[in-house]
Each structure stands twice: as structure tokens, then as C-alpha cells.
Amino acid sequence: MNEKVISCKALTKRFGDFTAVDAITFEVEKGEIFGFLGANGAGKTTAMRMLCGLSNPTSGEAKIAGFDIYKETEKIKKSIGYMSQKFSLYDDLTVQENITFFAGIYGLSDKAIKENSAALLKQLGMEDQADKRVSSLPLGWKQKLAFSTAIIHKPEIVFLDEPTGGVDPVTRRQFWDLIYEASGNGITIFVTTHYMDEAEYCNRVSIMVDGKVEALDTPTNLKKQFSVTTMDEVFYHLAREAKRGE
């Protein structure tokens, strides 16, 4: 039996009379690339905040990397990585300074920071870029660095929140090569994206509508289920049923 690294049962978040996340239930296996999709206002961000230990659920159950979402949030935070398209690196710090900063946040020792950062720079071919400010790097290099710093502590799970927004298709595909490599090394990938072609790269995809998970399966099976040929069509089929907006 495959190891479950994310397990949710009827996970719910309410804000007053508004139910942002409505009793979602799903599991994610170790090393899986799991796409978490939904239109703006569907509840994706609220759900991800709960899974990362940043927001307490109203009700329901969840375990992340084996830790209880209510009682062990600090252990969850040490077992995961996180990368956002909106904020992932400090432009005014150098490459080395960014690596050192994020490695420290993830709790690595000084010795581990030194060893891991040297290995990371070598892996990325950025040894001669270490003292350059991140603001001077091309976007593709920034992305690679941001992703690499998010997994420098070898987390069980990395949460990627719209990681390729505003990036050209070639750079996006290169970024997905990094995702496949991390998945092959046993890191579970939990990714949100607006690009439906990227949904095709996931092992399985869930689609949220109005706070509920309305579809969950492999991209191939979802296309069969809705008798369509692309994930775009699956998404639009479900999204047009949404009653709430942004």
C-alpha cells in the first residue's frame, strides 16, 4: 500500500456564515504530483493555508506528513516547503544570501546550510552567480532558485502556489522538469495553477468549485468522464457551475 502523506476528511473552514472550504476529502501519496485547481474564490488558498498549518480548520480532520493539523502545526511547517509566484525570493539579497536565509528559516544547522547551499549552487550551475543580487537574474533562473530553496531541507511535501504565473511557456516547461526530478526523489508536489496544460503534467488533479472538491482523478480519466479532449474543457465544464465569484 502506498504511503499517504496528505490525508483530509471533511475538512471545513467557515468565516461567520460563509463556508470557504466545504467538507473536502482526499488523499495524496508520497512522490505524487497533485494538481489543486479551481477558479478565483473556489477556496484553494484557504484550503492550502490549512494544509500548511497556517490556519485552523473549523471542523474535519487532516494529517500532513503524518502530523495532526490541529495539534502539530509546528512539525508540519518543518516537514514542508512552500513557493509562491507572488513572493519567493528577496531581490535585494544575493543568491547565496537568499539560500542561507531560507535554509535558516527551515531550521537547518550552520553546517547543513553550508553543505546544502554548496551542493545546490553546483546542481544549478550557479557557483559564479552566488554573489549576484537576485534582481539581476533572468526569470527562469529566479524560478529554479526559488524552487530549490523551497526544498533545500528535503521536505516530505512542497506546496507550490501558482509557481509559473506570468512565465513564458519554455521556462514553464523547464520548471516542470525540476518538479519531475523532485517527485522522482520522493518529494510530494502539491501545486495550484491557472494553466490547464500544466494540469496534464500532474498524476492526479482535483478541481474545487464553491469550496467543494467537484472532481478528482487522473487527467486522462477526467477527460473521459466529461467526454472532452482537454483539461481546459473539463475545468470550464465545472467552473461554469460556480455560484460565487472572487
Q: What is the pTM of this model?
A: 0.90
Which class does domain 4-239 fall in?
alpha beta
Non-local (6+) Cβ contacts of 152 within 8 A are 81, 99, 102, 103, 106, 108, 116, 117, 120
| DSSP for residue 38 | E
The answer on pLDDT for 163 being more than 70 is yes
Rounded to whole angstroms, the Cα distance separating 191 from 171 reads 17
Rounded to whole angstroms, the Cα distance separating 217 from 140 reads 30
How do the domains of the chain map onto residue ranges? 4-239
Nearest to 45 by CA among 78, 76, 84, 17: 84
pLDDT in tens, 13-62: 999 999 999 999 999 999 999 999 887 778 888 998 899 888 899 999 99
pLDDT in tens, 184-239: 999 999 998 878 888 899 999 999 988 999 999 999 999 999 999 998 899 888 87
pLDDT above 90 as % of the chain: 48
Alpha helices in 80-230 (DSSP H): 95-105, 110-124, 139-150, 169-184, 196-199, 219-225
In the chain, the amino acid numbered 208 is M
pLDDT of residue 225: 92
Secondary structure tally for the chain: helices H, strands E: 9, 10
